[in-house]
Amino acid sequence: MGQAGRRVEGPRCVAIVGPFGSGKTTLLEAILARTGAVNKFGSVDAGGSVGDSSNEARAHHMSVEANIAETDFMDDTYTFIDCPGSVEFQFESQPALSAVDLAVVVCEPDVKKIPALQVILKSLEERNIPRILFLNKMDKCTSRVREMVEALQVASAAPLLLRQIPIWKAESAIGYIDLALERAFMYNEHAPSELVDMSATDQEREWDARYSMLETLSDYDDVLMEQLLEDREPSADQVFENLVEEMRQGQVVPVLIGAAEQENGIMRLLKVLRHEGPGIETTAKRLSCPEPTDGSAILQVMKSIHTSHGGKLSISRILKGSIKDGDVFYGADGDEIGRMSGLFHVQGQKTIKDNQADVGEVIALGKLDNAHTGITLTTSKAGIDALDSHALPAPVYAMAVRPKEHRDEVKLHATLQKLAEEDPSLLIEQNQNSGETILYGQGEMHLRVALERLEGKYSINIESQDPAVPYKETIRKSTSVRGRHKKQSGGHGQFGDVLIDIKPLQRGEGFAFTQTITGGVVPKNYFGSVENGVKDALVKGPLAGFEVVDVAVNLSDGSYHAVDSSDQAFRSAGTLAMREGLPDCSPVLLEPIMNVKIAVPNDATPKVNTIVAARRGQLLGYDARPDWEGWDIVESLMPQSEIGNLIIELRSVSAGVASFEAVFDHMQELTGRNSDLVIEAAKAAE
């Protein structure tokens, strides 16, 4: 059948996403076990699963990167991408989401997970990725499923369409009724479900729930709407046609139920993916992928992996054409990316070599060092622009890192670049003022895992600390001071004599140098030298050695010697005058103040306001977050020194989903006890 019909053919790529702890990796393991890709159902907790197979994932019992596994089901090939659930690691898998055909959103029947579910659904909605909600852990559900779906609806822009209802016995879900098939099935642990007859009570429940499903579908189909109004039963083919098209268009989000740990509901999920999910043709169209006229291939790079022995692997989806080992790839403007050396299928941490791959397949390209995550590749020398771009999330946590061994400094820089390639949400900055290497990320655990990789995978022992806050110093009073540099050591001496006036400027005006010399007491050719000497003194202020800003200096008088004066002598005189005068100008510390916009579910807004106040923040107000039902944006001004671990506290009051953006706003005087502490720390560090 074509893409407009029911079932499509060819390889499929499916993302498994969902909040932290919802059972995504267990679902992947159940799918692999049910399809025969693994001989034994692996336990996540015991560290035996295909997903979460890295040392870091197993150490923390959580997904910290996207895991990829391939399997066959009823003669179709499926590549599943198990994406991290924690908000700290979610962006790592965002480039991979672009090229998937469909997303299975795994969620527990728990209203506390609604904010996290909303974050994930938003990312899918923004990309127009078709999605199915798999309501997991039904063996532990104690509430009515229809009520739970109604509660979860706030997280989805599209209607959640219940496709199955549970069969209950002693308050436990022992099976399900498929509302589209109008059949009942009894669960068998780690085995396919068994078709059973519906009881009269279940038959009534099925009629009621099915009618609700058809009503929702009819919102997008006038023919179905007319049939329901006339009390005519639509044909089974028509119902499935509506289910397929409305899901593929993102108009509805079908809801399936099950329990991945017992492999309950897995076969039905697989059949929905097989018969109703879109394929590569639809995905390529969604990405606005051009149709090559020369038969060339087009690929989207979904993820980069640096292996210990095999070099770099570029996990890619073939959107058009086919490839073979040894092909040369090109990027934008026909820039040659390189020749592939090795072509592999991926199964968790394992790779399986192949010689060629066709459209729709997810494949690892070996040793394409210039192929970065998120770019689009082609075998055409004409090149191709990237089909999908990803806005990097604002970093919310930072640490300064350095190797314990000096010999590892060069290695550290190269290794950090590899980490950032594998996870584009890791940002690296070389701070020229402090001399620090700063690693930015999405949370404390995000950066902790990065350091564990540096030490475990790349054998670099790391020291870390909070990044230096860029304090400044300024003055509040004016003074005039003379600086004289005179030195005689045989032959020509050194002589420079200046009188300078120092005064404060308005905040943010920086530095100004002027001269009002009359009578040539200081020759013009030395004015620049005096200014340079003044600037030398501003590098380290009198309070704590921070840069001095917002200062005006005027050269008003001085003297020179026809033989002994020089540029260096007048530069030294300017420095001496400033160092003597600045302490008399009532110096004061300045701290950077940031404009902080915090995105948070609105039930946590009062707690966020308290957090802002406790961190010396000035609350500017809050408003509803645009297009995010139930969320607020809280805006404040907050000292940069108070932002270091802000995200930890914000997430503790927001079910782990809060985020923020901070941009520099202004410098502000810091006095009293807080100033004393900064000065003491700076002097202790000298």
- Model pLDDT for residues 87-109, shown as the tens digit of each residue: 999 888 888 898 999 999 999 99
| Tokens 């179905």, residue located | 224
Q: Sign (positive/negative) of CA torsion 213, 216, 222, 227? A: positive
For residue 463, how many other CB atoms are within 10 A of its CB? 10
Closest C-alpha to 253, from 86, 81, 135? 135
Q: Is 664 exposed, middle or buried (0-12, 13-18, 19+ CB in 10 A)?
A: exposed
Q: Are 538 and 511 contacting, i.e. CB atoms less than 8 angstroms apart?
A: yes
- What is the mean pLDDT of the segment spanning 357-383? 93
pLDDT at 2 over 90: no
Q: Rounded distance, CA 36 to CA 33, Å?
A: 5
Task: Output the furthest CA–CA distance in the chain (Å, rounded).
Answer: 116
At 588, the amino acid letter reads: V
At 126, the amino acid letter reads: E
Tell me what percent of the residues of the chain surpass a pLDDT of 90.
78
At 178, the amino acid letter reads: D
pLDDT at 627 over 50: yes
pLDDT at 339 over 80: yes
- What are the residues facing 12 on neighbouring strands? 78
Closest C-alpha to 244, from 284, 219, 277, 286? 277
pLDDT at 141 over 90: no
Residue 111 main-chain phi, psi, to 5 deg: -65, -20
| Tokens 């995550």, residue located | 373
pLDDT at 52 over 60: no
- Model pLDDT for residues 297-328, shown as the tens digit of each residue: 999 999 999 887 778 999 999 999 999 999 99
Q: Per the structure block, which two tokens stand in for 10?
A: 């060819």
Q: Rounded distance, CA 116 to CA 657, Å?
A: 6
User: What are the distances in angstroms from CA 601 to CA 113, 119, 169, 544, 617?
Assistant: 12, 11, 36, 41, 20
Closest C-alpha to 468, from 549, 410, 540, 398? 398
Q: Per the structure block, which two tokens stand in for 30?
A: 């159940």
Q: Rounded distance, CA 514 to CA 527, Å?
A: 9
Q: Are 108 and 100 contacting, i.e. CB atoms less than 8 angstroms apart?
A: no
Strands 76-82 and 67-73: antiparallel
At 252, the amino acid letter reads: V
Q: Per the structure block, which two tokens stand in for 657?
A: 């989903």
SS3 81: strand
Q: How confident is the model at residue 530 (pLDDT cuts 50, 70, 90)?
A: very high
What HEC string does 13-34 produce? EEEEECCCCCCHHHHHHHHHHH
Q: Rounded distance, CA 246 to CA 642, Å?
A: 48
Q: What contacts 381, CB < 8 A, 6 or more positions away?
A: 330, 334
The pLDDT assigned to 390 comes to 72
SS3 152: helix
What HEC string does 88-135 produce? CCHHHHHHHHCCCCEEEEEECCCHHHHHHHHHHHHHHHHCCCCEEEEE
Closest C-alpha to 317, from 294, 295, 287, 292? 287
Q: Rounded distance, CA 201 to CA 135, Å?
A: 23
651 sits in which H/E element:
helix 646-652
> Considering the entire predicted model, what is its pTM?
0.90
- What is the mean pLDDT of the segment spanning 30-46? 78
The pLDDT assigned to 637 comes to 98
Q: How confident is the model at residue 192 (pLDDT cuts 50, 70, 90)?
A: confident
List alpha helices for 516-626, DSSP H.
Answer: 527-538, 567-581, 605-614
Residue 336 main-chain phi, psi, to 5 deg: -75, 125
The pLDDT assigned to 348 comes to 79
Q: Rounded distance, CA 427 to CA 394, Å?
A: 10
How many H helices and E strands in the chain? 17, 34
Q: How confident is the model at residue 491 (pLDDT cuts 50, 70, 90)?
A: low
- Angle formed by the axes of helices 222-229 and 236-248, to 10°? 140
Q: Rounded distance, CA 30 to CA 25, Å?
A: 9
SS3 367: coil
Q: What contacts 38, CB < 8 A, 6 or more positions away?
A: 29, 32, 50
Q: How many CA atoms lie within 13 A of 115 on its CB side?
A: 20
Closest C-alpha to 104, from 31, 18, 45, 16? 16
Q: How confident is the model at residue 4 (pLDDT cuts 50, 70, 90)?
A: very low
Residue 599 main-chain phi, psi, to 5 deg: -100, 125
SS3 73: strand
Closest C-alpha to 452, from 45, 58, 20? 58
In 208-297, DSSP assigns E strands to: 253-257
Q: Are 466 and 455 contacting, i.e. CB atoms less than 8 angstroms apart?
A: no
Q: Per the structure block, which two tokens stand in for 494?
A: 């050194």
The pLDDT assigned to 1 comes to 37
**What's the Rg (C-alpha) of the chain?**
32
At 53, the amino acid letter reads: S
- What are the residues facing 399 on neighbouring strands? 439
The pLDDT assigned to 313 comes to 93
47: left (phi over 0), alpha (psi -120 to 50) or beta: left
On average, the pLDDT of the chain sits at 92
Question: Which is more confident, 83 or 141?
Answer: 83
Between 296-310, 380-394, 463-477, 562-576, the lowest mean confidence (pLDDT) is in: 380-394
The pLDDT assigned to 576 comes to 97
Q: Rounded distance, CA 302 to CA 362, Å?
A: 9
At 287, the amino acid letter reads: L
